[in-house]
């Protein structure tokens, strides 16, 4: 099969996007792993597959696969790239796009400056929603990592995140702690791990170790999780600028009962085709 694709990125978090609206496309795990191989394939953090909706009230459905072939529930940077992709390919002319994902429905707004605002839905701090194994509800949960104890905030934003506040962001802590927490027995489905450095009530630095991928240049759901965790803990205000290695995102959350709003860019890198 000759596969046409578009390579895109959101703040360096990179994607291969495939149109499965105009033509039916199916992938198996081995094909996704091959495409995701940065030496022998195209290379990406996630593969995004744009499909027709199953719900007639929605405009599209899209599926998200890590480079290891695993399917995930949500991807904020991918959602912004998705919006730019369907407009560039003239699959829609709407500037407000309603989309189905594995985790539910989301809404994307393409702004006049080309940035995309994503309604990311409401977060959940209930451990079972991640899932996270916990005895009772706490503000911060201690977790043992190779004999050292860290405090984290578990939060679901459609996919599971563990947010750890640190005084300094270093390669050592991300590379050492990230993979251990990702695969910790208290997270039965594994977890994305965010390392949050608070600069002020409305500005933070963040690095995210993503499950099934490793550290990425940016993680949209990770930025959302980190900000709402910071708001819950009283560290942050309702509107926060998040500095990630790949660039900046603006995250807003008005508290329980409200959706998270994420605003940021999306860029097309190139279009191509490859035989599967």
Q: What is the mean pLDDT of residues 186-205?
A: 97
What domains does the chain contain, in order, with CATH numbers? 2-121+265-275 (3.10.310.10), 127-258 (3.10.310.10)
Q: What is the mean pLDDT of residues 182-192?
A: 96
Confidence of residue 183 (pLDDT cuts 50, 70, 90): very high
pLDDT for residue 74:
84
pLDDT for residue 103:
77
| Model confidence at 60: pLDDT above 80 | yes
Radius of gyration for the alpha carbons in the chain, expressed in angstroms and rounded: 18
Residue-wise pLDDT for 9-58, tens only, equals 999 999 999 999 999 999 999 999 999 999 999 999 999 999 999 999 99
Provide DSSP, 177-199. HHHHHHT-TT-TT--EEEEEEEE
Give whole-number Cα distances, 65 to 6, 85, 175, 208, 245, in Å. Answer: 15, 17, 23, 17, 22
Exactly one of 67, 117, 219, 224 is catalytic; which is it?
219
**Tokens, residue 232:** 């819950």
How far apart, in whole angstroms, are the C-alpha atoms of residue 248 and residue 227? Answer: 13
53: helix, strand or coil: coil
Let me know if 75 is a catalytic residue.
Answer: yes
Let me know if 81 is a catalytic residue.
Answer: no
Q: What is the mean pLDDT of residues 85-93?
A: 96
Q: What is the mean pLDDT of residues 106-135?
A: 95
Exactly one of 75, 81, 117, 224 is catalytic; which is it?
75
């Amino acid at each position: 099969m000759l596969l046409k694709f578009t390579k895109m990125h959101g703040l360096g978090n990179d994607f291969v996007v495939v149109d499965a609206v105009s033509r039916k496309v199916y992938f198996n795990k081995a094909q996704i792993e091959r495409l995701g191989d940065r030496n022998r394939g195209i290379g990406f953090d996630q593969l995004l597959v744009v499909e027709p909706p199953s719900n007639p009230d929605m405009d599209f459905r899209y599926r998200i696969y890590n480079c290891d072939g695993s399917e995930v529930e949500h991807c904020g940077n991918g959602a912004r790239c998705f919006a730019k992709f369907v407009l560039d390919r003239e699959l829609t002319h709407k500037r407000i796009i309603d989309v189905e994902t594995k985790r539910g429905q989301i809404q994307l707004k393409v702004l006049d400056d080309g940035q995309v605002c994503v309604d990311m839905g409401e977060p959940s701090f209930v451990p079972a929603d991640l899932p996270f194994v916990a005895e009772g509800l706490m503000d911060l949960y201690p977790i043992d990592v190779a004999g050292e104890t860290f405090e984290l905030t578990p939060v679901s934003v459609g996919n599971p995140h563990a947010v750890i506040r640190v005084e300094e962001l270093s390669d050592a802590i991300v590379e050492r702690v990230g993979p251990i927490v990702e695969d910790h027995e208290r997270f039965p489905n594994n977890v994305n791990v965010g390392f949050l450095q608070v600069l002020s009530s409305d500005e933070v630095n963040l690095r995210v170790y993503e499950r099934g991928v490793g550290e990425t240049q940016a993680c949209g759901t990770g930025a959302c999780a980190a900000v709402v965790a910071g708001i819950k803990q009283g560290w942050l205000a309702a509107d926060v600028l998040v500095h990630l290695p790949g660039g900046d995102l603006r995250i807003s959350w008005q508290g329980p009962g409200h959706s998270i709003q994420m605003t940021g860019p999306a860029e097309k890198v190139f279009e191509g085709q490859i035989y599967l």
